[in-house]
Amino acid sequence: MSVQLRVDVDGALRQRPGLPGPVASVLAASRNDTLNRERVSELLLQVPGLAARLMGVVNAPFFPIGEPVDSLASACLRLDSPTLERAIIASVLLGQFPPATGERFDRAAFWEHSVGVGVIAQTLAGAIGDDRQLAFTGGLLHDIGRLLLDVHFPREFRSILRYQRRHDTWIRDAEVAVLGIDHCALGASAAEQWNLPADVIEVIRYHHSPESGSIREGATLTVHLADVLARGLEFGNPGDDTIPMLSQVAMKRLGLNWEVLRWALLEADPYLPTARQLVRSTVGAETSVSA
């Protein structure tokens, strides 16, 4: 396919509606240290289902905030701005795309894989003293571009899957062959449109390119490793059954070895059933919680 098609795809994505206005307001409020946190709580309650999903995320045993919180107001008061923003981002996008199964793509299985990557990534981050919350959020959103293909470009996505089957290739190569752009670039473009933090955008853009000189965040490398490990465990389904090569560059830059990876998998394993339950209870859920 031509480069022009890539421009058209990016243009089409920009024409899609961004995050709903109330959601954008909540994210802006969460990163505003001068805003009264009671106001953040009020804004959260204006988005159907968001408050309940947020409570589910922050009280999940694998989301590293310390002691559980018992109310929305308590969560908004206790969490610092970066932590609250990342928790809201996770909660927003878990509810943004309702479950769907079919020949193309099982979104529930996709989210299971994504949450599993987040759990493993934050465990690895903890082992090296890195930002566990960023690792979790980046892991959760790393493949968001593939979900956008299913939602906004279903015809092209069918062509990608046909190409993959016909040529027995990695789905990312099929994306580039059909669209001239892969899910990493597509997801990063959407994340920029949604005004997500630069560190999260980096994870989305480079999690399959750990050798890139543009990488600044350890979470990008951690998520790359966690994605490979989650695929090896067959936890959820990211849309294809291939397992990318685990980057020795990422291992070296993070100071990791196979012993640490095995330890991380053992540490993450008890949380994976909870991660699956979080997906089942929050993806597309339209519930509410009191402040």
Tell me the domain boundaries of the chain.
3-18+100-282
Tell me the pLDDT band of 10, cut-offs 50, 70 and 90.
Answer: low
Chain-centre distance of CA 83, in angstroms? Answer: 15
pLDDT > 90 fraction of the chain, expressed in percent and rounded: 38
Look at residue 63 and tell me whether its pLDDT is greater than 90. no
Q: Which H or E run includes 28?
A: helix 21-30
Look at residue 16 and tell me whether its pLDDT is greater than 70. no
Residue 232: CB partners within 8 Å, gap ≥ 6? 243
**pTM of the entire structure?**
0.89
Q: Domain 3-18+100-282 falls in which CATH fold?
A: Hypothetical protein af1432 (1.10.3210)
pLDDT (0 to 100) of residue 18: 65
Residue 241: CB partners within 8 Å, gap ≥ 6? none
Which residue shows structure tokens 């990493």? 184
What is the DSSP annotation of 50-115? HHHHHHHHHTSTTS--SS--SSHHHHHHHS-HHHHHHHHHHHHHHHHS----SSS--HHHHHHHHH
